[in-house]
Structures are given as C-alpha cells and as structure tokens.
C-alpha cells in the first residue's frame, strides 16, 4: 500500500541541516523548520514507496526462489544418496573381485607348493632307497650314483691286473704274501708291483 505525498512545502533557499549560527537573522523560523521536516518526510515517503513496489514485485519471486532452493536441496540429497549407493556398490564389487583373485592366487600358490613338496618328497624317497641319479663324466650320461662312483674309481686303476694277467704270474700264496700288498695297492697298482 502506497503512502500519499504531503503537499510540497514552499521552503526558502536555506539548507535544512546547516549548522545554526549565532546571528539571529540566519536562524530558521519555526515554519521554515516544519517545512524542512515536511520536505524530508516526502523524500522518505518516495523511498518507502519505491521499496514497497520492489517488495510487491518480488514477493512472489521469493517464494519461487525458496521453492527452487528446496527442490535443489532435495535433488542434492537424492544425488548424494545415489552417489553413495553407487560408490558402495562399486566398492563391494571391487572387494568381491579382489577377494576372488586372492583366493584363486592362494589356491594356485598352495597347489604349486604342494606339487613342489611332493616332488621333493619323491626325490628324498629315491635318495633313501639309493636311487640317486648324477651326471657320469666317464660315460657322458646320467647314471646311478653307485655306478658313477665305480666308474670314477675304475678310471684311476690304470695298473690294475685282470684275472688273466694274475693267473699268468703263477704266484703261490706264500709268494703273494711276501709282497705284503694292501688291497688298494693290489687293486690300483697290481701290474707294476707284482711283475
């Protein structure tokens, strides 16, 4: 509701709020003072009317803005709930996939270690039975440990006697005892020592 202006006052050309001097001729009369107050009142009425028009124009807009803010809040709440649900679902999916991958890796690792352990057990069983296989350099292939050791020993017996060579010596037991040979001497150097 607009306020009507008061009748325009006829004010002498004196500024309303100037300091009062000590000279009585410069003082305002009571009528001049009231007319100045009336002028200021009219200025306030004009400003108030403008503000009232502005408020009347925007009174519906404020409700619109409040409704939009409420809608935005509801939309943000819905978006937050959806985003949280989506993130939680993705996180749960990743967690399940990782757990599955870890379980698979553990199964594979256990199977691998079980296979290696069984292979080691089998080798240990073969070793305890005496079936150790090594590379035999005297024949150039893999052979049992005992055969390889025998072959290595036989390589060092360059002066060993064969049975035929021993028989050809025609030694009696007494003659043989006189040489006082150890079994190793006989086995490795019999040809040199008995001839």
Confidence band for 169, pLDDT divided at 50, 70 and 90: confident
DSSP annotation of 38: H
> Closest Cα partner for 195 from 159, 150, 141?
159
> Closest Cα partner for 161 from 145, 176, 174?
176
Can you tell me the mean pLDDT for 99-112?
A: 95
Confidence band for 11, pLDDT divided at 50, 70 and 90: low
pLDDT score of 23: 60
Give dist(CA 192, CA 195) in Å, integer: 6
> Closest Cα partner for 48 from 35, 10, 15, 40?
40
Are the C-beta atoms of residues 144 and 174 closer than 8 Å to each other? Answer: no
Task: Give yes or no for residue 111 having a pLDDT over 90.
Answer: yes
What's the pLDDT tens digit per position in 37-90? 888 888 899 999 888 887 777 767 778 888 899 999 999 999 999 999 999 999
DSSP 129-162: HT--EEEETTTTEEEEHHHHHHHHHHHT-TTPPP
Task: Give yes or no for residue 101 having a pLDDT over 90.
Answer: yes
Token look-up 């803010």 returns: 69
What's the pLDDT tens digit per position in 134-151? 888 888 898 888 888 888
> Closest Cα partner for 129 from 117, 146, 143?
146
> Closest Cα partner for 77 from 85, 88, 66?
85
DSSP annotation of 20: P
Token look-up 């036989």 returns: 154
Strand partners, 136: 141
Could you tell me the sign of the dihedral formed by the alpha carbons of 117, 118, 121, 126, in that order?
negative
Share of the chain above pLDDT 70, in %: 85
- Per DSSP, which regions of 37-82 are E strands? none
């Amino acid at each position: 509701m607009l306020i009507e202006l008061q009748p325009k006052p006829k004010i002498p050309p004196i500024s309303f709020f100037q300091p009062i001097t000590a000279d009585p001729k410069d003082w305002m009369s009571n009528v001049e003072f009231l007319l100045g107050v009336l002028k200021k009142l009219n200025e306030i009425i004009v400003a108030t009317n403008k503000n009232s028009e502005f408020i009347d124009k925007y009174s519906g807009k404020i409700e619109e803005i409040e409704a939009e803010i409420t809608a935005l809040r509801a939309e943000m709440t819905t978006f937050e709930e959806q985003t949280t649900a989506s993130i939680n679902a993705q996180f749960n999916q990743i967690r399940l996939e990782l757990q599955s991958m870890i379980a698979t890796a553990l199964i594979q690792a256990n199977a691998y270690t079980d296979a290696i352990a069984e292979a080691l057990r089998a080798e240990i069983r073969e070793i305890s039975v005496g079936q150790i296989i090594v590379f035999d350099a005297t024949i150039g292939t893999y052979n049992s440990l005992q055969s390889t050791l025998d072959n290595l020993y036989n390589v060092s017996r360059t002066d060993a006697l064969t049975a035929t060579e021993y028989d050809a010596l025609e030694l009696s037991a007494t003659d043989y005892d006189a040489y006082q040979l150890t079994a190793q001497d006989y086995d490795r150097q019999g040809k040199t020592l008995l001839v």
